[in-house]
Structures are given as C-alpha cells and as structure tokens.
Amino acid sequence: MNYYDILGVTKDASIEEIKKAYRKKAIEHHPDKGGDESKFREAAEAYETLSDDGKRKEYDVFGGTRRGNNGGFQGHGFSMEDIFSRFGDVFGGNPFGNFNQRPPQKRGNDLRVSLKLTLDDIFRGVTKKVKYKRHNACVSCNGNGGHGEKTCNGCNGFGRKNFTQHTPFGTISQTMACNDCQGSGKQVSTRCNSCNGHGVYDKEEVVDINIPRGVMNNMTLNLQGHGNYIKGGVAGDLHVHIEELPHDRFRREGSDLHTDIWINISDAVLGGQKDIETFYGPHQIAILPGTESGKVIKVHGKGLPTMGSNGQTVGVGNLVLKFNIFIPKNLNVEQTKIFENLRNFE
C-alpha cells in the first residue's frame, strides 16, 4: 500500500487535502481512542513525505511503495511525541490529551531592576554591579526540595494526569499537572531540612552587568537565568531597565548630542574660533562672519556611539551646536559710545 492509499487521497491531491486526510486518519487510529498504533504511525509517515514538495516528487519518481524500515518515522524510531512536536500545526494543538508527554519545564518568575546611567557611562560603556534579592536554588538539595529522588507514582513520571468528571451535561476529561509532584514527574523520599522542602531560599545577589556603548534610555537588557529559581524547574530572567540621567550640557536625540554655544557680538559679526569640550576631548570650531543667533551647525562624528542589535558599535552620531549671541547688559561710557557709533553705521 502506498502513501496516497494510506491517507485515502489521489496523487494530484493538494497539500490542504493531504493535511485534512492525515488529521482524519490520526484521529481515527490514535491508540488513546482505541485505534491501531501501527496505522497511526503509517499515517504520520505518509504525511511526512507527501507534505514536503521535494520528498513527494522523489517518492512519485522512485515508486509507490512504503519506505518501511528504510525511512519515515518507523525507520528513525520517532515516538508519538515526535509526531506531534513536528506536526502540531496540523491538529491546532493536541486534541487527544497529553499522550504521556511531560509538561514544559517549570520556570521561575522574572525579576526587574532599574539601572541609572550618565551620558559618560553610555559613551564609554561600563560594567555596573547591581544588587537585588532572588529565590536561589537550595544548596543542600540542589533545588529538589529533598533527597532520594524517585519517579512520581501518581503520574508515572509524566507530570500530568487525566481527570474525568461526570456532569449532568456529560463526561468531561481534562489533562492537568499532577498534584503529587506539581508537574515535575519526580518526588523525594526525604524532605530537605535546609529549605523545608521548598527547594529555594532567599538570597541577596550581586551581578556584574556589561553595558554596551550607546545603550538607549528605557532599553531593557536581559540576563538569562538570574531571576527567581523554582523547585523542579529553572530560574527566570533578570530584566535590567536603563534610566538615562540628564546631562548638564548635552541633550541627547538618538545618537546625536545637542548643546548651546554662546558667542559675543564681535565674534558673531567678524567671525572667529571657539574651543568646546566634547566626550572626545577639546575641539575647535570656526565661527563664520555674520553668524546669527539660533544658527545650527553639525560637528560630524562627535556624538554618541550607535549600538547595533548585537550590542556592537555600528556608527557614531553628531554633535549639533546652536549659536546664541551674548548681549552685554551693563556698559560703561566708552562701550556705550562704541555701540552708538555702530548704530550710526547702520
């Protein structure tokens, strides 16, 4: 019998027709529903080939007989868990219960801390120490809650049990985490005295956080495995929220830095030069004759590093300067005469 016969479709069947036929056969032959497991595996083997264009063309060219132990799920020793891990989209989930599958590994809660950074920190890139409290795995029992680990009798080590409830509306079956082992599939013979069986204890942690150059305000850095540990599972993550502190001279826009430059009237009229401080050290700028108040110029490559998605520097922003003209308020007689002459000049 060939793959098309197994699924009950023709050789010109579309992928949707093949998928629909496979789902029907899988439901019909599933062992938990009283079906034939060998036919269930045959259907999965047929679908594995016919749902792939390349494999299907090769199958059509080289013959219409099953590969048997030379390929497919039987040849590779795949279990029903493998079938549903690969073809779960065909079923839209698992309509048959747990199939003796172990539930996903439990994961502890994520934690969140805030980290304040100056523009200087962001420019250079720094390593900061952060102190916080977390649930850590108990050292005495390695986070298991006790000693003498054994397979849970309640669920036979699968972490889930099927519960059946008879109601006036019919029988309802549910697959739930085993309450004997809290879904871990394991139990301990002797409860740990250090953690009283909880598998965790509170600990104050200090972790070094490497801050990449150019990190943005309100960005969150993720440290895997530094969150709360949970008995029978793994630790969650630590989310580090970046808070950028205001700078006394620079205002940030992306990777660009903005600042105001004050010049006197003479430099504005006649032109000149001015030394400014940047994160890269002193830098001299030219003031063109006739510079008006509010004029903006850019100094390229004197802004903040631009951080790429991988945390590496991919560029540098600019320094944006806005000129402001200083107007003297208190003039002596000689200075007043100079400005009067200027007025007459106009």
Model confidence at 310: pLDDT above 70: yes
Rounded CA separation 13/108 (Å) = 47
Rounded CA separation 344/346 (Å) = 5
Model confidence at 73: pLDDT above 70: no
Q: Are residues 111 and 235 in the same domain?
A: yes
Q: What confidence score (pLDDT) does residue 204 get?
A: 95
Rounded CA separation 238/222 (Å) = 6
Q: What confidence score (pLDDT) does residue 248 get?
A: 95
Over the stretch 177-198, which tens digit does the pLDDT of each residue have? 777 777 777 788 888 999 988 8
Q: Provide the strand spans (E) within 140-246.
A: 146-151, 160-167, 170-177, 186-191, 200-211, 220-223, 238-244
Rounded CA separation 43/64 (Å) = 15
Q: Are residues 10 and 49 in the same domain?
A: yes
Average pLDDT over every residue of 92-119: 73
Average pLDDT over every residue of 256-263: 97
Q: Are residues 240 and 118 in the same domain?
A: yes
Q: What confidence score (pLDDT) does residue 89 get?
A: 54
Q: Are residues 18 and 53 in the same domain?
A: yes
Q: What confidence score (pLDDT) does residue 92 get?
A: 52
CATH code (residue 50):
1.10.287.110
Q: What confidence score (pLDDT) does residue 102 get?
A: 52
Over the stretch 147-167, which tens digit does the pLDDT of each residue have? 887 888 777 777 777 777 777
Give 68's pLDDT tier (boundaries 50, 70, 90).
very low
User: Per DSSP, what are the bridge partners of residue 47?
Assistant: none
Give 269's pLDDT tier (boundaries 50, 70, 90).
very high
Model confidence at 72: pLDDT above 70: no
Q: Looking at the domain assignment, is residue 219 inside a domain?
A: yes
Q: Are residues 9 and 113 in the same domain?
A: no
Mean pLDDT, the chain, integer: 83
Average pLDDT over every residue of 80-109: 57
Give 32's pLDDT tier (boundaries 50, 70, 90).
low
Model confidence at 66: pLDDT above 50: no
Q: What confidence score (pLDDT) does residue 135 get?
A: 95
Q: Please state the pTM of the whole predicted model.
A: 0.60
Q: Are residues 262 and 229 in the same domain?
A: no
**Number of domains, the chain:** 3
Over the stretch 41-52, which tens digit does the pLDDT of each residue have? 888 888 888 888
Q: Which domain holds residue 24?
A: 3-91
Model confidence at 312: pLDDT above 60: yes
User: Per DSSP, what are the bridge partners of residue 297?
Assistant: 321
Secondary element (H or E) of residue 116: strand 111-117
Between 170 and 308, the more confident residue is 308
Domain limit, last residue, from 214, 246, 278: 246
Q: What confidence score (pLDDT) does residue 84 get?
A: 54
Q: What confidence score (pLDDT) does residue 70 get?
A: 40
Q: Looking at the domain assignment, is residue 159 inside a domain?
A: no
CATH code (residue 327):
2.60.260.20
Over the stretch 213-253, which tens digit does the pLDDT of each residue have? 999 999 999 999 999 999 878 899 999 999 999 999 999 99
Q: Are residues 214 and 279 in the same domain?
A: no
Rounded CA separation 328/318 (Å) = 31
Q: Are residues 210 and 120 in the same domain?
A: yes
Model confidence at 99: pLDDT above 50: no
Over the stretch 88-98, which tens digit does the pLDDT of each residue have? 555 554 444 44
Q: Are residues 261 and 341 in the same domain?
A: yes
Rounded CA separation 184/158 (Å) = 8
Rounded CA separation 30/17 (Å) = 20
Q: What confidence score (pLDDT) does residue 326 get?
A: 93
Provide, rounded to the nearest whole percent, the portion of the chain with pLDDT above 70.
85
Q: How many Cβ atoms from other residues are within 10 Å of residue 134's Cβ?
A: 21
Rounded CA separation 296/100 (Å) = 69
